[in-house]
Amino acid sequence: MSDLFSLTGQRALITGSSQGIGYALATGLIEAGAKVVLNGRDATKLERAAEVLGEGVETLVFDATDHEAVRAAVDGFEAKVGPIDILVNNAGMQHRTELENFPADAFEKLLQTNVASVFHVGQAVARHMIARGAGKIINIASVQTALARPGIAPYTATKGAVGNLTKGMATDWAKHGLQCNAIAPGYFDTPLNAALVADPEFSAWLEKRTPAGRWGNVEELVGACVFLSSKASSFVNGHTLYVDGGITASL
């Protein structure tokens, strides 16, 4: 049974992993036996995170929204270091403004960061996985893949797109031995949600709205990520796994 969930001998690239959910997932995958490659645009932050995580953690600096930079970085890493067996597309951002006043440039930035990055990095890594006939791609979606709330309509649109792009990846790449799935976190205490965590009124609303009655802890996403990265999910494809304390299950 333990072999089903072991990631020994596997290498995972996690985008946006110097902090928050990406960092927590890196920690969990390391504990499951994987070698981890941290990604982001800030080399100093990445090196600091790698030092904390320990010996053997690698970093790969690139902007996930830049198609050519992504391709060059991934191809170069594969050629010089070795295969990327697991990809976690975690890079993302949020912008909260009522829809009628939502800035067009903020909308475009959300599209690039939350959707285009999944395409760019997913395609670059998948080309190598396809050649090997195996690979795991995990896209970080959101409860907003299925739900909406005031002030974040464009973010909701991007996370809906991530859910459908995940289905498309599975449809195109399952025949090549890839499993492509998504994890949809509920409300977690992360830097992205710092403003909401600090708002007593919102936290009170969330605790009433969520059957579990609380914010999620980022460590609670690790089990889902290990499952989708491992042999245990060998016939799971195109699925979005909600880790949300039950918020999408209840009215």
* Residue at 8 is within a domain: yes
pLDDT per residue rounded down to tens, the chain (251 residues): 689 999 999 999 999 999 999 999 999 999 999 999 999 999 999 999 999 999 999 999 999 999 999 999 999 999 999 999 999 999 999 999 999 999 999 999 999 999 999 999 999 999 999 999 999 999 999 999 999 999 999 999 999 999 999 999 999 999 999 999 999 999 998 887 888 999 999 999 999 999 999 999 999 999 999 999 999 999 999 999 999 999 999 98
The total domain count for the chain is 1
pLDDT on residue 251: 87
* Residue at 161 is within a domain: yes
* Residue at 147 is within a domain: yes
Entry pTM: 0.96
What positions carry a catalytic annotation?
155
User: Which amino acid, one-letter code, is at 207?
Assistant: E
CA-CA-CA-CA dihedral for 59, 60, 64, 69, to nearest 10? 170
Give the residue numbers spanning the domain of 86: 2-245
55 contacts 8 by C-beta, under 8 angstroms: no
Q: Between vectors from CA 128 to CA 137 and to CA 75, what angle results, nearest 5°? A: 105
* Residue at 175 is within a domain: yes
What SS3 class is residue 60?
strand
| H helix or E strand, kind and range, residue 178 | strand 178-185
Report the CATH number that the domain containing residue 172 is assigned in CATH. 3.40.50.720
pLDDT on residue 82: 98
What SS3 class is residue 98?
coil
DSSP summary character for residue 115: I
* Residue at 114 is within a domain: yes
* Residue at 251 is within a domain: no
58-61 sheet: strands from edge to edge: 58-61, 35-40, 11-14, 86-89, 135-140, 178-185, 240-243
* Residue at 69 is within a domain: yes
Can you tell me the distance from the alpha carbon of 76 to that of 214, in angstroms, rounded to the nearest whole number? 43
* Residue at 250 is within a domain: no
Can you tell me the distance from the alpha carbon of 171 to that of 113, in angstroms, rounded to the nearest whole number? 23
